[in-house]
Structure 1
Amino acid sequence: MANILIVEDNEPLSRSYLEFIKPLGYGVTACASGEAAWQSMQEAPPSVVLLDLHLPDMIGLDLIARAREEGLPCSFVVVTSDGSVDQAVEAIRAGAEDFIVKPATPDRLRITLANAVKRHSLEAEVRSFRDESARESLGRMRGGSLAMQTVYRIVTAAARSKATVFITGQSGTGKELCAEAIHSLSPRAEKPFIALNCAAIPAELIESEIFGHVKGAFTGAAAERIGAAGRADGGTLFLDEICEMNIDLQSKLLRFIQTETYQKVGASKQERADIRFVCATNRDPLEEVRQGRFREDLYYRLHVIPVEMPALAERDGDIILLAETFLKRFSKEEGKDFEGLSPEAEELLIAYPWPGNVRELENAMQQVAVLHEGPAVTPDMLPPPLRSVQAASGAPAPAASSAAAASPDLSAADIKPLWQVEREAIEAAIAQCGGSIPRAARLLDVSPSTIYRKKESWEEG
């Protein structure tokens, strides 16, 4: 809700402003001096300040100037008995949104304030969008690409609720880092974050890992064990590779999610736990449902807020940022003096398709830091798979132009239409870049939208 601060030393006038504004439904407070207003603005910046220019302890324009210097996100509407043009211009130059001459009619005052509140709200949205679009990290996730900005927005919004989050994405894209960010931004941040990889635990032990067991529940159960559910009480339970879970255990997990109660293996009593669930998989969960390997009711219980982690090849601009981040970290750990990447090394990193995603890039930079010396990473320091794509750092030559270079005596039948040559060149570039249209566009020196548009026209044709 918008908040209005009235700064007026005339008490009857201040009360009348309060009555005029009340129908708008805004929160309203009033101050009789500039200093009192300044204290109030610092404690809780209002949306709009309705400001008298002639205050007992200062000129109203000085209050506007002070707020602008401190960066307080307040809008100002000036009310004064001095209706001169010079006074109005001075107030607007100081940063006022609008100017009202006393006596202000109720309708004039309400319309002016409503407009100021709308402008303030729009400016706040623009500031928020700029902050998000400029963000290069969230928690331990790094990247300023458009694909990661989408992830950041969903994570930031989802973190505040208790809704279950379902993270999908290829191996190595950072699904656990995403889950950690959701927990760290949530009201449960001070409570435990428990991560469990369902693919790394033998099928016969995973129920015990999740729910715990009592002493003697099975061979080897020499003592009672608290499972992940008990340890995560009040916090977040992250179930990685959820699609690997046994179908019978899925029904018990569903009951746990629905009732917030569970039973240790071998126990007769129910226990309760307040848990926020986050899960992840590198498979297509709907396909797993269709194949009968994942319960449909569990899928819809978990799939409340979906987050798709993009492949590294889809994160334009992030490859070099991440490589430099990893290089800096491993260089410090290994006591090396690496300062950055050579331009030639950067070209290879950008051209490589990164099937192992961020984890593969991290491993590559660790290998460089362990085996080589700085100050710059050169192509020969990179692991063999990266060095093998050196030829892809330039745009691939179209088939027709290669043929022309090899045989200058072409017949008319050998000459292909220009659109076909262009299509072959684009398709060759996309194939060379592992299917990444943004990377192919960069190598061909065209906009990705151009390639998308041409592909659409080919499909329609």
Structure 2
Amino acid sequence: MSQNANKNLVYIVEDSLSSGALYSSQLESVGYETRHFVDGYSALVAIKERMPSVIIQDVCLPDISGLEVLQFVNKQENPARVIIITSNSSIEVAVDAMRLGGFDFIEKPFTRERMLTSVKNAISQVKLESNVEEVKKSSTQTDKLNFIGESLAMQTVFRLLESASRSKACVFVTGESGTGKEVCAQYLHQSSARQNGPIIAINCAAIPKDLFESEFFGHEKGSFSGALSDRKGAVEVANGGTLFLDEICEMDLNLQAKLLRFLQTGTFNRVGSSQVLQSDVRVVCATNRNPAEEVGEGRFREDLYYRLNVIPVQLPALRERGNDIMLLANAILVEKNQANKKDFKQFSPEVQNLFLKYDWPGNIRELQNVIENMVVVQTGESITTEMLPASFGKVDKVPTFSAQTQNNLPTNNIQGDATSIVPMWLVEKNTIEQAINICNGNIPLAAAHLGVSASTIYRKMKNWDGDNQ
């Protein structure tokens, strides 16, 4: 039987008769055809006879594991989208289910709207994948240039993202600064059933703590000083699409709790309002830190970490990608040529050799900056070593936070009076400014050498213009 004929068929695998009847009633009220099974083996027999579009699957069954049903489904031709039902006690099993190819998971107790939204999204995914060739053609050349690679490390990333794009599961992207975490999120969005919806990015390190909740959930007019009108937050604007949370480990613990509640329920309140709103978003988050270490140090909630880390994606550093360096360099050269109306066609063998041996502490972002510098400043058909920026490959050491190196403080007068003590923020400010000067104004490169994110430097620079001045 064709997939189209089955487009409204939903199987419910739930050992509770009352719960299964309730789910069936709610789905049938909006036009779906349903069948309810109270054990796994009955569901397997029915799946062999007729594949539905969607299966709502409890992970805890009296005979076999819900994961066994999921694995069986995914081995069939035109497999159904499987939505996992879980409770707090089985959340780790649900995470495993998502990694095995589950489409979504919803936690008991859940609302009718939450279930219907998940089923609707699953049906949309089925329709989208019924015309795979059109989806492939819709990807622009620019998309491909932004996220390319032939190395084994990147092929592993691509396979993982391909699997993730078929579900609504949260994706946690880690990697050094400049490795392309936001581009990874855009690639994932454009490959999913949500590609026609919005993708909204929030840099958790760049928004002041006091304004974060408003940026995230929105606010009502008059809810605080400066709230002159109602405003939708990122969660509301991203409804039907993807919410990308960059530098997630910088998020305040109090807001982490509210984010966890939103992920569990799909509901939120604007600041200053008691009205409960709903939003259906796919969350992709990123950090250049080690999130497990952040959890261990108490700076990141463990329950939120496990909720977000359903599909972990580790982006390799550029220095670990071998010949991908030149693959990216040539793509960037074409892009910068077009933008600046230049005629560069290639890199000289000497430059290629330097590029392949260089450590690239700023990763792809640094590679882009180096190539753009040469294309803008130089003229010719071949990029040669003489065209490389003077700072290229020469930033071996960036001074640490030392008052002695930054402020010419006396080093042999330990008994000096208190007026010789330099405030810590000024020591830090001088260190960062010197690093930026050494890197010829390249803040991301300076950040890479200082061991912090570029957004951290931008935030500190903004603070210098405030109270510390």
TM-score (norm 2): 0.54
Match of 1:345 among 335, 340, 351: 351
Alpha-carbon spacing, 1:375–1:387, altered in 2? closer, same or farther (3 Å): farther
Letter in 2 for 1:149: Q
Alignment of 1:217-232 (within 5 A): 217-232=223-238
Distance apart, 1:145 and its partner CA? 1.1
1:202 correspondence with 2:238: no
1:336 correspondence with 2:348: no
Whether the aligned pair in 2 keeps the contact of 1:139 and 1:181 (CA below 8 Å) is: no
Distance apart, 1:385 and its partner CA? 3.8
Tell me the distance in 1 between the aligned counterparts of 2:376 and 2:163: 39
Alignment of 1:21-100 (within 5 A): none
Secondary structure at the aligned position of 2:213 is classed as helix
Tell me the distance in 2 between the aligned counterparts of 1:231 and 1:332: 33
Gaps of 5+ in 2: 3-47, 51-76, 78-141, 396-469
Match of 1:278 among 284, 293, 311: 284
- Provide the residue aligned with 2:191 in structure 1: 185
Alpha-carbon spacing, 1:224–1:183, altered in 2? closer, same or farther (3 Å): same
Identity, in percent, stands at 54
Letter in 2 for 1:207: E
Tell me the distance in 2 between the aligned counterparts of 1:285 and 1:244: 11
Letter in 1 for 2:316: P
Tell me the distance in 2 between the aligned counterparts of 1:203 and 1:26: 55
Tell me the distance in 2 between the aligned counterparts of 1:139 and 1:277: 24
- Provide the residue aligned with 2:313 in structure 1: 307
Whether the aligned pair in 2 keeps the contact of 1:137 and 1:143 (CA below 8 Å) is: no
- Provide the residue aligned with 1:362 in structure 2: 368
Distance apart, 1:268 and its partner CA? 1.2
Tell me the distance in 2 between the aligned counterparts of 1:196 and 1:298: 17
Whether the aligned pair in 1 keeps the contact of 2:145 and 2:331 (CA below 8 Å) is: no
Alpha-carbon spacing, 1:207–1:137, altered in 2? closer, same or farther (3 Å): closer
- Provide the residue aligned with 1:140 in structure 2: 146
Tell me the distance in 2 between the aligned counterparts of 1:374 and 1:26: 66
Tell me the distance in 2 between the aligned counterparts of 1:384 and 1:303: 42
Tell me the distance in 1 between the aligned counterparts of 2:49 and 2:253: 54
Secondary structure at the aligned position of 1:359 is classed as helix
- Provide the residue aligned with 2:461 in structure 1: none
Letter in 2 for 1:304: V
Match of 2:252 among 246, 249, 256: 246
Tell me the distance in 2 between the aligned counterparts of 1:335 and 1:276: 39
Letter in 2 for 1:244: E
Gaps of 5+ in 1: 3-24, 28-46, 48-135, 390-461
Alpha-carbon spacing, 1:255–1:140, altered in 2? closer, same or farther (3 Å): same
User: Cα deviation per residue 1:250-303 (whole Å; 9 max; x = unaligned)?
Assistant: 000000000000010111111011111110000000110011100000000000
Match of 1:211 among 217, 231, 234: 217
Larger Rg: 1
- Provide the residue aligned with 2:239 in structure 1: 233
Tell me the distance in 1 between the aligned counterparts of 2:169 and 2:260: 15
TM-score (norm 1): 0.54
Tell me the distance in 2 between the aligned counterparts of 1:159 and 1:149: 15
